Structures are given as C-alpha cells and as structure tokens.
C-alpha cells in the first residue's frame, strides 16, 4: 500500500476526524488515514449527527480509515433514486455498528446524510492477503493457512451472530494487522433473514467477486445464506494455499477445482466446502473444527500458529511506515477548518475532469462468464480495495435488475493515541443565562458540520 500526503484538493477535516494522509482511491471515492480531533465536542447532538462510537480509552489516539464517497455516487438515475442509494449507505452504517469482535474493524463514525458522505473504522496497519501472497511469491504452508482460516471463521461468526452476511469475502478483504487477520468491507452485507423491509438488494442481482463466490450467489445474490460466506472462506484459503482462486472465471456446477499446489491436508478441509450445493457444505463451526484438527495433527497449538502468521507479515516488508504523517503538530488549529471565510467550502464541486482523474474507474475489460441459466452479471462502477488492484478475481459489482451497488471497501488500519477534551464553555455577549445561548461546544459542532474541507482551486 502506498500512503500519500494530502493534496490541495483533499479535505483537512471530516466531521470529528483530522485527515492525515491518502490511503487509496477508486471509482467511487477516496480512503484517508485520520484520527479524532482533540477538541471536538463530545455532546450528544454531535454524536448523533455522526453516529460516533464512544471512546473507551481517551488517553490513546485511535487511527481510523475514513472512506469518502464521491457525491455523484448518490445521484438518482434510471435504475434507482438518490433516496434508495442513501438508504444503502445508511444500511451499511447500521451493519458496521452491529458487528463487534476482535477480527472485524471497530466502527468509529459516519455521515450518511452529508454533502460529502463518509464512514470511519479502525485502521488496520498491515497488507491485505492478496498483496502479501503475491509479494512473497509463494503461498502459505498448512499451519499458516489454518491460522488464517481460524481467524476468518471468528470474524464470520461475529457477523452471522449479528444476522449479517459479508457476501464479498476474498483475499483483498482480509487484512493482516499486528494482532493477526481482520476481515474488512461489509459494503455488500445484507441481513441474513432477508426481511423485505430491510434487505434492499433486488432479486436477479449478482454482487461480489466471481472468483470467490458460490454458484448460488452468482445466480442471485439476494437469495443466499450463511453457506455462501463459508464457501468464500474456503475459496480464500484455497488462494492462500495455492496462490490462485479455485475458479478464476466464476463458479462451476460440474467442474471441480484444479487442486494442484494445494497441500493434501488443506484439500481435505476445503474439498467438502467448495461444492455447488449449499445444503451439503459444512457449516462455519465444522470448518473451524477441521482446521483445529489439522493443527493438532501437525503438533502445533492455535496460539503458536497465529504467531507464525504474524511473523510472516512482519518479515514481508509490506507494513507501511506512517511516521511522516503522524507528527502534525497538534489539532487545535483545525477545530474550524481553514477556508471558511465567506461561507461553506466544498472541494468536491466543480471540475468533472478532475473527478475523472481522481476517481477513475478501474474495471476489467474481460467479459463475465455466462451462468448456467444464461444470466450474465453487469459490470457497474467498481470499488477496488485501496491498496493494489485485486488480481485474484474479476469484480462483478452490478445488477441486471435495479443497477444497484452497495460496495464501500475500506482501507486496512492500526490503533494509535486518542486525545480527548472539549473547548471550555463560555457565555456569549448579552446572554441572560446558559439556557439562552448555545454552549461553545454546540457552536463548534455546528461549524464542523458546515465545514468539511479547506478551499481548493480547480
């Protein structure tokens, strides 16, 4: 991952977060490294406005990955209204808030209704699985792959217990941080019970990455179960073991995967899962048990296997150095973003050509394979993971029905110090009582809501 300094067109502040660097960009937006402003008011109104997560340890400064969505992404079109697109983003925020566990990034805040929509999660400081395997030039051994699989089953268990499906689990969405693997990108999640008043994805839609999705998802994303995530888990472990996906061009109902390169012990775990019939697949806990048995057979404990995997990441040289972006001299001057004289500033308005440059689509030109029933998914605006282009599968992020897309990838991340505190309250001139005048904290919050970025000339 190439971390870059902010440019003149980048905002300095979004809601309560100071932006420090650019982590990546794609067809739908940019991802920034950020952290909570030291002097942002912690009143209930501000927390509600930005869905802010409570700061458990105010002595530390948590680094966050802030995903900013290009405003044009929410414009209405022939397939979908702007309101429905906003509803999708709000649904993603709800999903992120509901899933809590050590193998998923913590939700930190979001602004679904702002002129510049964004969401923030913990930054996981490390490479994704796709980049790690390709950069090493060799796949994982069975112990490392088993440790990876156990971490992924833990992440999926947290999601499934919250009645959320991932639906785009793949190597690019598994980040190997200092505490082990973390599963990111819930942008394609749906409620597992698929209640009609909650699940927005339309029937006849294929969303995800074809090289890692099961046949039932390829045919119809909406009507899938937790078994689809279990299949994608196995397909991701296949990649970790062989350096390639089981079905590079999409799932097959008749052809088995090419197993060459996959160790026999790992094949015994994956073969019952990588089948077209969802009803016959082992469930998540059965896969976990098989991985544990594999480690026992190798005489390796779960903790030792996890440590082996962390050592592989540390030796890879792929963990980015953030030191140049963290010594910024404090946040006090940024309580009100610069460039606010004369009214609201919006660096995202104006030049369409600039947007084409900054948010150029990165989409494969290769046609998608036709499914057995003749249905071919449509390629819409893709959202690459903000590290490298995912080389492991062809992105199918679209619809033949309503043209919808719900993918909002997020960048890998890592914890750091979280300053706290709020500006001192004071009475305004001529105030008769505290109740007659907004507190300094509320006034600061209102200024922050209006001011997302410094002015930029295009």
Please confirm, yes or no, whether 168 is among the known catalytic residues: yes
The strand pairing partners of 118, in sequence order, are 68, 111
Single out the catalytic residue among 10, 122, 168, 381. Answer: 168
Catalytic sites, residue numbers: 168
């Amino acid at each position: 991952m190439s971390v870059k300094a902010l440019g003149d067109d980048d905002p300095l502040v979004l809601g309560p977060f100071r932006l420090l660097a650019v982590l990546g960009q794609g067809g739908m937006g940019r991802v920034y490294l950020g952290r909570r402003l030291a002097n942002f008011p912690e009143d209930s109104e501000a927390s509600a406005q930005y869905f802010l997560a409570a700061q458990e340890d105010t002595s530390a400064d948590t680094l966050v990955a802030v995903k900013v969505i290009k405003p044009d992404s929410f414009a209405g079109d022939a397939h979908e209204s702007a309101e429905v697109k906003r509803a999708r983003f709000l649904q993603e925020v709800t999903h992120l808030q509901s899933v809590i566990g050590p193998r998923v990034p913590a939700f930190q805040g979001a602004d679904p209704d702002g002129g510049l929509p964004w969401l923030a999660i913990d930054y996981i400081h490390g490479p994704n699985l796709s980049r790690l395997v390709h950069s090493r030039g060799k796949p994982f051994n069975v112990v490392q792959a088993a440790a990876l699989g156990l971490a992924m089953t833990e992440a999926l268990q947290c999601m499934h217990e919250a009645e959320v499906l991932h639906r785009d689990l793949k190597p690019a969405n598994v980040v190997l941080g200092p505490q082990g693997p973390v599963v990111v990108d819930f942008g394609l999640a749906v409620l597992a019970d698929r209640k009609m008043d909650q699940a927005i994805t339309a029937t006849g839609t294929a969303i995800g990455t074809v090289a890692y999705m099961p046949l039932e998802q390829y045919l119809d994303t909406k009507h899938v179960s937790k078994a689809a995530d279990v299949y994608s888990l196995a397909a991701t472990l296949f990649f970790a073991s062989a350096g390639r996906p089981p079905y590079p061009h999409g799932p097959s109902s008749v052809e088995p995967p090419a197993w060459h390169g996959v160790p026999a012990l790992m094949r015994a775990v994956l073969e019952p899962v990588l089948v077209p019939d969802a009803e016959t697949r082992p469930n998540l806990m059965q896969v976990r048990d098989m991985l544990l048995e594999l480690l026992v057979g190798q005489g390796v404990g779960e903790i030792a296997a996890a440590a082996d995997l962390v050592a592989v990441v540390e030796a890879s040289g792929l963990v980015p150095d953030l030191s140049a972006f963290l010594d910024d001299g404090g946040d006090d001057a940024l309580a009100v973003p610069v460039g606010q004289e004369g009214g609201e500033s919006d660096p995202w308005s104006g030049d369409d050509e600039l947007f084409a440059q900054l948010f150029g689509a990165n989409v494969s030109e290769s046609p998608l394979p036709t499914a057995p029933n003749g249905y071919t998914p449509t390629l819409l605006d893709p959202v690459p993971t903000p590290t490298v282009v995912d080389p492991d599968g062809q992105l199918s992020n679209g619809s033949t029905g309503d043209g919808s897309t719900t993918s909002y990838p997020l960048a890998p991340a890592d914890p750091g110090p979280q300053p706290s505190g709020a500006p001192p309250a004071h009475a305004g001139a001529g105030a008769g009582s505290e109740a007659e005048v907004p507190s300094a904290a509320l006034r600061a919050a209102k200024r922050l809501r209006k001011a997302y970025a410094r002015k930029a000339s295009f």
